[in-house]
Structure 1
Amino acid sequence: MNMHSDPQSSSTPPASAETNGPSESFRFDDTGALLETHLPFPRRQGKVRDVYDLGESLMIVSSDRISAFDYILPSGIPGKGELLTAMSRFWFDAIDSGEIGGKLRDSGIPLAHHLISTDVPDVVAKIVDPAPLVGRIMVTRKAEVVPFECVVRGYLEGSGWRAYQETGEICGVKLPAGLRQCEQLESPIFTPATKAEEGHDENVPIDVMIEQLGADTAERLRLMSLTIYEDAAKLAARRGVLIADTKFEFGWHDGQLILIDEVLTPDSSRFWAADEYTPGQSQRSFDKQFVREWLQASDWDRNSPPPPLPQEIVQKTTERYREGAQRLRGEW
């Protein structure tokens, strides 16, 4: 999701000194999933997150919305936004501690990110009920978004697997013949994608990034992305989780490239259980796999509003997200 320094407002400007009631500011579904926020600050809404402009900073609210096949579903996944926020915070803390990105800093390349706090700001708590926001917000620095998704692939799956089957390469990166679905690559590869406001991002060769951003910026983004992925993959592997692939977003803040948006969550990455990993077939993943599979098996035509999810699918998806987070935190 793009987070520019001047997000477009889709809500009323801040004016009231009174606290809005929960029914005015938040909409939940029957399971308790938070589907919408309507806070009195300028807002930019994405498929999952609502970004509010607080003046000197942004507040990113992770809702419990879930999307599939470019549609936002009418059903939410209870607790999903809190899990995503906790996972992003886990990785940002690992960057701050030096567990991720150490060799970048040793080589003179700073690795900074946009997270300031996960506490509800006073300016927000004075105007709206803060309780629904606790655990699901990030207060962040503003940044001018780099118009590329920085994708890193360590295993062959998804659009990368499809491209490999057709051409033997991904985004111009030639791969050895005979690789199997979900097979680990000899070394992670950087495969950027253009950012789309609607629909799917488009995978492109790094030459496209170089042409638009310049060689120095493109190379720095490549190096930062690969280093973050490699360090995170080692950390996750020690806890029994494989990070098959992921996408990062970066932005310019005070003349410096910083890591922005969510990072290394099941919505931006593919996580597998190491003890279940079997190359040559699709893997069980800690994300919305149950949702996609149920929709594919339904009679939904993908050209009309999607149907509500059965409670069983909601519950299984909630459990899948929670399991991934617990494994990473060493609680599994």
Structure 2
Amino acid sequence: MTISAPKTPLATPPGFDDWLQSFRRQVESRLATVLDRQLADAPPQLADALRYATLDGGKRLRPALVFIGSLVGHPWPDSENERFDSLWSAAIAVELIHVYSLVHDDLPSMDDDELRRGRPTVHRAFDEATAILAGDALQSLAFGEMAGSSAEPAVRLDWSRRLAEAAGPTGMVGGQAIDLSLAGQTDEAGQRPDLATLADLHDRKTGALIRASLALGARWAGLPARQTRLVEEFGRLLGRAFQIQDDILDVTGSAESLGKTPGKDAAADKCSYVTVAGLDGARRELDDTVRHAHAALWELATLGADPQALSACLEFVTQRQH
């Protein structure tokens, strides 16, 4: 979808930070309830690893996007309203998939990281085999949670299809495969892969799940097809902006502020927006991505929607320091 550049950024409505803080507490509570219910008969070490990986940390951005995607045009979804009970299953499923991806990304055979959310990664706190099993279990729990939703059967089926596609070989997992294959790679002239290749990588690895999070909410709400396409296009750009900011913070941030090890991309000779384009180039790419994301929001506004909450998400993603 081609969208013209916007005139000016949309205003960010007040209250997003307060809403997100409240929403995070609800996510934490519901995740704990799901794990208590599902892990009663699980082996103790596996259950401990699942709780360790899932609870007490994280931005909880993706489940928030599920709710925001369900109410384009309404700033803050009242997630405590009973009408949203069936949507919570999708929100929790998305977060479980995200946590599984982090557990596996941190493994020695992948990104080989020792710090996540300010504490040792799962394979360091337990062991590598337990971390692999915990990631496998989180993926299973995610799809089980969606299957048990009280949403209409057609909605649940569509959710499963979208989430499987976002997390699978053409989405998140495929992006990780490309990421690993590009580490240390240069062409005959000694050049890194170009920005288009990098964008494709991160549209899969990071953007696919962010895009799907918004789409799950939009599908639940029965958003018109044209608006849904724009929401998904915005989600793709939001995911790209998230990754570019992540790459910038990997260079400019500290372990204390990030909650993870900085400088990992350069140390592992991995392709990032900074290693490919330089810090200033990465910042220009971020500005360009934000400009196109605002264009999608302006087009949504012409269809009668009020996408201020989406604009607030974009500001949160690009201004964050961790």
TM-score, normalised by the number of residues in structure 1: 0.29
Q: Which has the higher strand share?
A: 1
